[in-house]
Structure 1
């Protein structure tokens, strides 16, 4: 689940600097009402490759990739690449400065000792950012996620560059996509907030990574999340903890916990068996508990967790590779690679917002 940070940022970009910001509702304004936009309802039939593209009428959307990488000496790294689309009005894309879409890019690299993050912003309609099909390309400036293949997610390039880092990766997979939740309808609250959500957790990545002038040849598993929605949070929800886990035994796990100002958190996830079979996990099947905290950017962050799914004999610790993986951007949050120990071994990614 990748409910991201675009609503408040759109206001920041397009509101005059002497005007006050709108009151936030939920994390980053994601609980604000959006009646004019297309609602997310059960029963949607997904269509590919069309659904790899943008979805006019919905308020927010993202293309999100993480990769857990190792170099030839066995050192661990993490890479993040995300493109967000935020519609200010529920209307079709148009050329020129009258376009009512804001684009945002986030990119980051993490090692056990270093974390670098960068962001890019763009107004739609002027060629600086966007998503196109046939051939597929998602881009903002020179950050790209692009493929010449008929099935773009079978073989795709991922690139980003900033002053302290760069990466150039090739991602490949021959396995089918995973529709999260109820056939792609991913509920985020008891009140019915939801997104359309699919993933490609089976990517294998390879290429080069540069950090502070040093280049590494790297490879490892990668995970794509695609979501679009119009109101994915309630005003009572303050943030989330999201996990994507690659287990060495071949299974994959996605979990998220939506924290609330009042009441119990909303907790769900997906178990992806080694053969690709999918099972939605209910709250009562999951135990997700912080085990250790660290002071990060002036706040206490849970950087080690116990994750238990008794039905699957999963009883693991999930710990940050670098506890200081703070995304010190316009809207800050924690995101970085994690290691897995206990009943299963593996690697994954953790995102924590609203702390």
Structure 2
């Protein structure tokens, strides 16, 4: 979730690059607080249905398919991968055909090691087949980048899938397996983002096991590890006074998972939320009053100070950890930029995960 910058959950940069109107993005962080007139609302009580909800929701303004992976190579050296596909509607329904289609697609891919961070970005116009998503058989693609199901993909787990991306100086290909169902975030998939009613529909697959290859500067290595996919869609996910967010996905060594975010507001009253995901797939929401997210160290990145080290406390669970990045320079210098990279953590619990920082 960047100042006048953007990440996975915003597409102003992509739209500007495609000469679409900037004024639509004048309200709030990256325009995500703009009124949602003409688009479908996000309301409590939705019944999720799979495979349909793995696919696109064109009546909503924005959505994304967002995957991060914490991996190691054959020597045990850690690395991280990112693969994201975003859809943004430049105008409300009804849907238009062909080149008149109002949907813009944007994708980011990245590789992070301790010694390097590489990223790439693609754009496509909707309606012409260059990018898109199908629910069954599952496939999400933009040009040659893809997250694609197989003949045996289970709708409940969204596995197995294959993941591919390539750029001038890196590429990767992974197979992702999972034996637990996707997890609904928030209140049965209704993820509130402010006290004023902004929200998204949100589910995750935090149980992916990943195996494949990573190539950097023409050197290919085998990699394996854990991956996490987030799916969200909304028409107005943020309030106009929310300036950015700090988001973490954590793989605990116990097999449990933890998602946390803190939406920052101009008045200093942050809006935090979390979800504890047990190893068996059961979940328990963690309310803001029980979440303490404290920046502990900053790094100079791209001309700004970013809080790349954190202390996280959840007193009700006797949970206290310190998080450190694999590479503090994991800056996504895309059309609208943000920080996104793998982290490790230790304390009452140990493990690895991903951190995203926007709005700084």
Same fold, judged at TM 0.5 (above) = yes
Secondary structure at the counterpart of residue 311 of structure 1? helix
Equivalent residue runs for 1:2-21 within 5 Å: 4-7=9-12, 9-15=14-20
Question: Per-residue deviation at 1:45?
Answer: 0.3
1:31 corresponding residue in structure 2: 33
Matched, 1:303 2:308: yes
144-153 vs 323-332, which moves further? 144-153
Q: Which runs of 4+ in 1 moved over 6 A?
A: none
Question: Per-residue deviation at 1:133?
Answer: 2.7
Q: Determine which of 345, 348, 352 is the counterpart of 1:343.
A: 348
Q: Determine which of 283, 286, 300 is the counterpart of 1:281.
A: 286
1:352 corresponding residue in structure 2: 357
2:53 corresponding residue in structure 1: 51
In structure 2, what is the Cα distance between the partners aligned to 1:99 and 1:147? Answer: 26
Matched, 1:227 2:232: yes
Secondary structure at the counterpart of residue 10 of structure 1? helix
Q: Determine which of 151, 176, 184 is the counterpart of 2:154.
A: 151
Q: Determine which of 43, 60, 63 is the counterpart of 1:61.
A: 63
* Number of equivalences: 352
1:139 corresponding residue in structure 2: 141
Pair 1:262–1:139, CA change in 2 (3 A):
same
Pair 1:115–1:220, CA change in 2 (3 A):
same
Secondary structure at the counterpart of residue 14 of structure 1? coil
In structure 2, what is the Cα distance between the partners aligned to 1:189 and 1:123? Answer: 31
Matched, 1:189 2:194: yes
Secondary structure at the counterpart of residue 18 of structure 2? helix
Question: Per-residue deviation at 1:94?
Answer: 4.7
Conserved? CA contact 1:93–1:125, under 8 Å: no
Equivalent residue runs for 1:111-150 within 5 Å: 111-148=113-150, 149-150=152-153
1:100 corresponding residue in structure 2: 102
In structure 2, what is the Cα distance between the partners aligned to 1:200 and 1:224? Answer: 5
Which gives a bigger RCO, structure 1 or 2 (Cα 8 Å, sep 6+)? Answer: 2
58-67 vs 313-322, which moves further? 313-322
Question: Per-residue deviation at 1:132?
Answer: 1.3
C-alpha distance after superposition, 1:178-227 (max 9, x if no partner): 10000000000011100000000000000000112211100000001000
Q: Which runs of 5+ in 1 are unaligned?
A: none
Pair 1:112–1:133, CA change in 2 (3 A):
same
1:179 corresponding residue in structure 2: 184
In structure 2, what is the Cα distance between the partners aligned to 1:225 and 1:14? Answer: 28
1:216 corresponding residue in structure 2: 221
2:329 corresponding residue in structure 1: 324
Conserved? CA contact 1:294–1:323, under 8 Å: yes
TM-score normalised according to structure 1 size: 0.96
Question: Per-residue deviation at 1:134?
Answer: 2.4
Conserved? CA contact 1:7–1:60, under 8 Å: no
Question: Per-residue deviation at 1:104?
Answer: 0.3
Question: Per-residue deviation at 1:89?
Answer: 2.1
Question: Per-residue deviation at 1:90?
Answer: 2.6
Question: Per-residue deviation at 1:6?
Answer: 1.4
Secondary structure at the counterpart of residue 261 of structure 2? strand
C-alpha distance after superposition, 1:143-170 (max 9, x if no partner): 0000123425120000000001100000
C-alpha distance after superposition, 1:266-287 (max 9, x if no partner): 0001011122220111111111
Q: Which runs of 5+ in 2 are unaligned?
A: 2-6
In structure 1, what is the Cα distance between the partners aligned to 2:184 and 2:103? Answer: 26
Question: Per-residue deviation at 1:54?
Answer: 0.3
Conserved? CA contact 1:318–1:341, under 8 Å: yes
2:4 corresponding residue in structure 1: none
Question: Per-residue deviation at 1:15?
Answer: 3.0
For the aligned residues, what is the CA RMSD? 1.5
Conserved? CA contact 1:61–1:86, under 8 Å: yes
Question: Per-residue deviation at 1:7?
Answer: 4.0
Conserved? CA contact 2:68–2:229, under 8 Å: yes
